[in-house]
């Protein structure tokens, strides 16, 4: 990847993994398809050339699992950045600051959420290539969303013309809607520094496949992720869905 001005840019890959979780307790360590949930994302990142793969966690057990999987965990995240209400951006900025002091300022940050374990083999490399080719400042992973969205209210409102109900096959690039997956973001470091946001400047969309939109928040999500991972590995017949 080239930085602005033609100089090479390092790419810091940050995987946040807090020890606490309300929906599925200790879900970052949950057995999903035969390995801890966080390990899927670590392995995907390590298989992508050019990434400095770092896990930001407040939890020593998660840190041990991450290190064993090959990720760097040079420090534990401070408690004030590991609360239920802590946004992701301060966590990433803390990682940027620590890495800058340790080995120099990264030019680009890839943010991967461990709760989205389904990614195809070429997804991360494809995202890096599209980010470079598009020349954007930030990029967000999305999946196509059906247009039939409603918002509660009095009365409820639709995001489409109910008098001219569209057909999915008639949608164009200009009328398609996309849902943010939460799985993957690419951001120039200055966007975090200037806007304290993972998205800013010129924003690009990175379109992912439908199954890559799975985000683990419930037991059903776990079952869905396991089934899809088994299918992608070609052994769905032996799928075992863990109880959580």
> What is the per-residue DSSP string for 51-81?
EEEEEE-S-HHHHHHHHHHT-B--SPPPGGG
User: Among candidates 141, 132, 80, 72, which has minimal Cα distance to 102?
Assistant: 72
Structure tokens at 190: 């200055």
* Known catalytic residue at 103: no
Cα of 70 vs its chain's centroid, Å: 18
Query: Among the options 4, 103, 165, 202, which is catalytic?
Result: 165
Residue 187's CB: how many other CB atoms inside 10 A?
A: 26
Report the pLDDT value the prediction gives residue 11, as an integer from 0 to 100: 96
* pLDDT tens per residue across all 244 residues of the chain: 544 433 334 799 999 999 977 667 789 999 998 999 999 999 999 999 999 999 999 999 999 999 999 999 999 999 999 998 999 999 999 999 999 999 999 999 999 999 999 999 999 999 999 999 999 999 999 999 888 888 998 889 988 888 888 777 777 777 788 999 999 999 999 999 999 999 999 999 999 999 999 999 888 998 999 999 988 888 644 434 444 3
Q: The tokens 């995202």 sit on which residue?
A: 127
Domain 11-146+178-238 has CATH 3.30.70.1450: no
User: Closest Cα partner for 226 from 39, 34, 46, 69?
Assistant: 34
Does an H or E element contain 156, and which?
A: none
CA distance 227 to 241: 8
Q: Find, among 144, 135, 112, the residue nearest to 47 by Cα.
A: 112
pTM: 0.88
CB 55 within 8 A of CB 38: yes
- With a CB cutoff of 8 Å and minimum separation 6, the contacts of 235 are none
Please, which contacts does 220-228 make with residues 24 or more away whose CB atoms are closer than 8 Å? 222/24, 222/30, 222/32, 225/32, 225/33, 225/117, 225/118, 226/32, 226/33, 228/118
């Amino acid at each position: 990847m080239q930085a602005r001005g033609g100089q090479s840019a390092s790419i810091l890959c940050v995987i946040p993994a807090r020890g606490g979780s309300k929906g599925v307790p200790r879900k970052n360590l949950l057995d999903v398809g035969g390995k801890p949930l966080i390990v899927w994302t670590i392995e995907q990142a390590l298989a992508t050339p050019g990434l400095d793969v770092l896990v930001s966690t407040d939890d020593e057990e998660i840190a041990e699992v991450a290190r064993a999987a090959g990720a760097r965990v040079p420090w534990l995240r401070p408690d004030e950045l590991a609360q239920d209400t802590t946004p992701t951006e301060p966590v990433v900025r803390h990682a940027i600051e620590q890495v800058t002091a340790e080995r120099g300022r990264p030019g680009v940050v890839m943010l991967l959420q461990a709760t989205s374990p389904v990614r195809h083999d070429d997804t991360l490399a494809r995202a890096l290539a599209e980010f470079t080719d598009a020349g954007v400042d930030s990029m967000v992973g999305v999946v196509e969303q059906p247009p039939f969205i409603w918002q509660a209210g009095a009365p409820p409102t639709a995001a489409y013309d109910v008098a001219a109900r569209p057909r999915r096959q008639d949608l164009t690039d200009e009328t398609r809607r996309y849902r943010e997956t939460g799985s993957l973001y690419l951001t120039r470091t200055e966007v975090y520094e200037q806007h304290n946001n993972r998205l800013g400047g010129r924003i690009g969309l990175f379109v992912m496949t439908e199954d890559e939109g799975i985000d683990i928040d419930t037991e059903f999500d776990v079952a869905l992720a396991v089934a899809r991972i088994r299918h992608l590995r070609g052994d769905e017949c032996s799928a075992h869905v863990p109880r959580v």
